[in-house]
């Protein structure tokens, strides 16, 4: 399976997702692309790590993974974030695909 532009594999087999987040939205959800990143709207304010926690909770639910398999590895204080998914399995079918 071809990976979308916002996803890449590490040598360890973990998957990195490059995301652009929009905190303070009315509800959490995928919202297309922002450059080479997948845009995610978050129903949490960007205060005291709430948006980061909501991002990991949202991704775990959408991808059908336990929260323990997700780790925010870059962008804790910005909108551009990278999340590592350990042992990704076949959850890729739940991610939005790139347009042809």
Q: Find out whether 49 and 31 touch, Cβ atoms under 8 Å.
A: no
The residue ranking higher by pLDDT, 46 or 18, is: 18
> Which residue ranges make up each domain of the chain?
7-86
* pLDDT over 50 at 86, yes or no: yes
* pLDDT over 90 at 98, yes or no: no
pLDDT digits (tens, 9 = 90+) for 21-73: 999 999 999 998 898 999 999 999 888 899 999 999 999 998 888 999 999 99
Q: How far is CA 26 from CA 1, 22, 45, 56, 94, in A?
A: 33, 10, 10, 17, 22
Q: What is the pLDDT of residue 100?
A: 43
Kindly report the pTM of this predicted structure.
0.84
- Residue 90 has which token pair? 């076949």
What CATH number should be reported for the domain whose range is 7-86? 3.30.1200.10
């Amino acid at each position: 399976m071809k990976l979308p532009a916002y996803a890449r594999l590490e040598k360890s087999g973990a998957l990195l997702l490059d995301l652009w987040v929009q905190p303070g939205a009315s509800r959490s959800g995928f919202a297309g692309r922002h450059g080479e990143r997948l845009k995610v709207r978050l129903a949490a304010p960007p205060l005291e790590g709430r948006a980061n926690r909501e991002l990991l909770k949202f991704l775990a639910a959408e991808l059908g993974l336990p929260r323990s398999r997700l780790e925010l590895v870059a962008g804790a204080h910005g909108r551009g974030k990278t999340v590592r998914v350990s042992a990704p399995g076949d959850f890729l079918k739940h991610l939005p695909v790139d347009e042809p």
